[in-house]
Structure 1
Amino acid sequence: MKIETGKHVKLNYQLFINDTTGEMVEETTTEQPFEFNFKTDELLPSFENAIEGLAAGEKFSVTIESKDAYGEAREDLVIEFPKDTFMGEEGIDEEVIAEGEVVPMQDQDGNELFGLVLENKLNSVVLDFNHPLAGETLHFEGNVIEVA
């Protein structure tokens, strides 16, 4: 059976930045494969197009340019907030807004967004709302385990 719309797919992969000589940022295992329903779950369309038609046991090697993955990093998604934005009942928890932490926030429509703390200044905090892989070329190496 081949991968096509609506099929349940299990696969293993390693995800690298740029190519297999770059940093590996994600890896699945046989015990915990990546499972999804083809073209019905929200996956990168360029990844889906690359594996469409493959069958169980087949290997894949897919490179996706940043523009076809998570786009380029956007400066307008790096935002500086007044520190009192993070005020809770017991004050500001400095551990929550430490550099490198991911802070959940909401936009004006109530949608949850996640910002990476780039800088914790005296009176403000700089958050980056870009996808962590924005601006990166992605390379997947893997194999299809099952198509049902």
Structure 2
Amino acid sequence: MKAQDNSVVLFNYTLRDEQGEVLETNQGSDPIAYLHGNDNMMPGVEEAISGRAAGERFSATLPATKTYGERIEDCEKRVSMKHLQGAKTWKAGMTALVNTDQGQRQVTVLKVGKFMATVDINHPLSGRELTFDIEIVEVRAATDEEIAHGHAHGVGGHQHS
């Protein structure tokens, strides 16, 4: 089966920057699972996977507009230190998680005060051309429940309790 709308795709990836440095990978972990064609994956990654079958390995170099978006200048916010997640002590340049109305968001700490921090709310990888080395592990038909819920279930997907 090939990746198409309403199929569940499981894949492994390695993300590289413009110089080929590895930024992140899920190699050695469970594959990522998503419901294809339901806005659950970065547009560029989904486009690169579309029409591919299990066992395929490939690389896709994608512009910022197809991954984390373009950088928006002067996109700074002041937030309470207690809202920064990911470390006990914060310094400028560190990446933190912050809960927003749209879910968790990665931010970059710009300045740390006693009670407040100034953060750049652009994703740390925004504005960059990135290369994804992808291995398709499995492609299967989505269940009716997955289609109704709008996401993949099981290993690498959404877990319901």
Query: What letter matches 2:50 in structure 1?
Result: E
Superposed structure 1 runs of 4+ greater than 4 Å apart: 110-114, 121-124
User: 1: distance between equivalents of 2:8 and 2:62?
Assistant: 23
In the superposition, relative to structure 1, how do residues 111 and 40 fare at CA in structure 2: closer, same or farther (>3 Å)? closer
Change in CA separation of 1:30 and 1:40 when aligned onto 2, cut-off 3 Å: farther
Q: 1:105 to 1:14 in 2, by over 3 A?
A: closer
How many angstroms apart in 2 are the aligned matches of 1:87 and 1:63?
Answer: 36
Provide the residue aligned with 2:23 in structure 1: 25
Instruction: Give, as a single letter, the amino acid of the residue that structure 2 aligns with 1:25.
Output: L
Count how many residue pairs are aligned between Structure 1 and Structure 2. 133
Instruction: Identify the residue that residue 49 of structure 1 maps to in structure 2.
Output: 47
% identical aligned pairs: 31
Name the structure 1 match of 2:145: none
Residue 101 of structure 1, CA deviation: 5.0
Q: Which runs of 5+ in 1 are unaligned?
A: 89-94
- The equivalent of 2:131 in structure 1 is 139
Q: For 2:43 and 2:102, how far apart are their aligned partners in 1? A: 23
Q: Which structure 2 residue ranges, 5 or more long, are not aligned?
A: 83-87, 141-161
CA-based RMSD = 2.6
Q: Which amino acid aligns with 1:130?
A: N
C-alpha separation between the residues in 1 aligned to 2:69 and 2:37? 20
Corresponding residue for residue 34 of structure 1: 32
Q: What is residue 102 of structure 1 aligned with on the other side?
A: 96
Alpha-carbon shift at residue 68 of structure 1 (Å): 2.3
Structure 2 Cα separation of the partners of residues 98 and 127 of structure 1: 11
Is the radius of gyration larger for structure 1 or structure 2? 1
Cα distance between partner residues in 2 of 1:124 and 1:105: 15
Structure-2-length-normalised TM-score: 0.69
From the superposition, tell whether residues 102 and 39 of structure 1 become closer, same or farther in structure 2 (CA, over 3 Å): same
